[in-house]
């Protein structure tokens, strides 16, 4: 097939006519001259038994030499079973994506199909299944720890080594729980990406073996009755603010989680019914805590001081917040009880151990500890289950603690039916 038929002067001299016409340069390349005077380079070729027409630009902006070079590149692609129009279409898509992403970044949005983009989609897909506080923590972890390093990378281009680079600094800081949580979230994002056809592989999988297993931390607790009696005497002699003294003395009587005690709301207390009805966020249900005479006495004594506040045990700063997270822990340390001996959470362990030894129903004890099934229907049923027994148990538990505090001889404790 003849090529390079004409010299440039031929194309330069071409004038418009009454009808459109073509000047053939050979090899499928020609100059299309329209009746309005436009001169456009075209390449006619056959691909997959279909005749196609490829635009190569206008003359003289695209010179004869350039047009011939573009035509030759297209012929080489055709010889290698590559459709030149498909290449152009792909380039156009890439440019459109680039332009779109430039606009998205300017608007504060993640790059399309990037890790951050797919992560946002995954977070939205699980929002209705996740508690607000948990969802907020997931978003924060990803934004702080993952997005700065891999957020802008295309989801299908991320390597295992890049994910390890995200996790490794957290491991080095010994923040293993955060490392495991973040790894799990990254892996979940890739699972979402796989089923939605954004990628076909989870590069986070090999990284899991690089994260050390997290050691289970057992919260220290005193379970010897005599030693616990001494602790109760020390608590009784604790010299702190009246609010902290009250919270400190209240903790062993109700043995609820420290966070729930420090955030105890007056609106959740019914002194007449002798009940505390907190919402337990950890297990997502409303609990009933029967209050003993001793617990009622503490609440009655502190009500003139904090009754106008939202919280029973408010912060000493007067800023409307509850008592700070480490208050009871600090109080224990001030009495000489380090965290390897006794913790604020340890009151729960002490109560569980001694009440089980004393023969109370394990189910009643578990309900009192607010350990509840995840099944919501069963949880609602269990909320009030064993309530009569728990009322008796809580009063006798408080009486028992008084006997320990007063230094009574420790005898086998039998519940009263």
- 3-class secondary-structure state, position 26: strand
Catalytic residue from among 53, 196, 286, 381: 381
371: annotated active-site residue: yes
Catalytic residue from among 282, 286, 321, 378: 282
3-class SS letters over 191-242: HHHHHCCCCCCCCCHHHHHHCCCCCCCCCCCCCCHHHHHHHHHHHHCCCCCH
Query: Do 385 and 362 touch, CB atoms closer than 8 A?
Result: no
- H-state helical runs in 60-175: 64-79, 84-106, 115-126, 132-141, 147-150, 160-172
Please give the C-alpha separations between residue 245 and each of 242, 278, 312, in angstroms, as whole numbers: 5, 21, 12
257: annotated active-site residue: yes
Q: Phi/psi of residue 275, each to 5°?
A: -140, 150
Catalytic residue from among 257, 262, 287, 367: 257
Catalytic residue from among 68, 70, 348, 390: 348
3-class SS letters over 38-83: CEEEEEEEEECCEEEEEEEEECCCCCHHHHHHHHHHHHHHHHCCCC
Catalytic residue from among 104, 181, 345, 391: 345
> DSSP code of 111?
P
Catalytic residue from among 329, 371, 383, 392: 371
Nearest to 84 by CA among 48, 58, 112: 48
345: annotated active-site residue: yes
Q: Please tell me the distance from the alpha carbon of residue 93 to that of residue 85, in angstroms, as a whole number.
A: 12
381: annotated active-site residue: yes
Tell me the catalytic residues: 257, 282, 345, 348, 371, 381
């Amino acid at each position: 097939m003849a090529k390079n038929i004409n010299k440039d002067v031929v194309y330069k001299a071409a004038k418009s006519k009454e009808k459109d016409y073509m000047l053939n340069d050979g090899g499928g390349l020609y100059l299309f001259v329209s009746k309005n005077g436009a001169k456009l380079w075209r390449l006619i070729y056959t691909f997959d038994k279909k005749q196609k027409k490829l635009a190569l630009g206008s003359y003289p902006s695209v010179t004869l030499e350039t047009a011939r070079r573009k035509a030759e590149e297209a012929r080489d692609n055709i010889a290698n079973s590559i459709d030149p129009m498909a290449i152009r279409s792909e380039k156009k898509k890439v440019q459109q994506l680039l332009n779109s992403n430039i606009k998205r970044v300017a608007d504060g949005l993640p790059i399309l199909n990037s890790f951050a983009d797919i992560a946002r989609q995954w977070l939205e897909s699980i929002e209705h299944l996740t508690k607000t506080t948990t969802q907020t923590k997931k978003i924060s972890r990803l934004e702080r720890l993952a997005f700065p390093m891999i957020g802008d990378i295309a989801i299908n281009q991320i390597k295992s080594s890049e994910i390890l680079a995200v996790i490794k600094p957290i491991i080095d800081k010994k923040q293993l729980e955060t490392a495991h949580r973040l790894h799990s979230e990254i892996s979940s994002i890739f699972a979402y990406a796989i089923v939605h056809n954004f990628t076909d592989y989870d590069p986070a999988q090999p990284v899991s073996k690089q994260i050390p297993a997290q050691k289970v931390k057992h919260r220290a607790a005193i379970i010897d009755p005599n030693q616990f009696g001494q602790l109760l005497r020390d608590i009784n002699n604790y010299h702190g603010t009246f609010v902290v003294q009250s919270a400190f003395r209240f903790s062993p009587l109700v043995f609820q989680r420290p966070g729930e005690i420090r955030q105890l709301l007056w609106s959740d207390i019914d002194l007449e019914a002798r009940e505390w009805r907190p919402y337990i966020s950890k297990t997502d249900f409303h609990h009933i805590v029967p209050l003993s005479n001793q617990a009622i006495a503490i609440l009655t004594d502190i009500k003139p001081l904090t009754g106008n506040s939202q919280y029973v045990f408010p912060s000493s700063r007067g800023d409307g917040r509850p008592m700070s997270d480490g208050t009871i822990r600090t109080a224990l340390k001030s009495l000489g009880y380090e965290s390897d001996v006794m913790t604020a959470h340890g009151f729960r362990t002490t109560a569980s151990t001694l009440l089980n030894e004393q023969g109370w129903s394990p189910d009643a004890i578990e309900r009192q500890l607010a350990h509840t099934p995840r099944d919501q229907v069963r949880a609602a049923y269990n909320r009030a289950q064993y309530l009569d027994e728990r009322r008796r148990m809580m009063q006798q538990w408080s009486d028992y603690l008084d006997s320990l505090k007063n230094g009574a001889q420790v005898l086998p404790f039998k519940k009263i039916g």
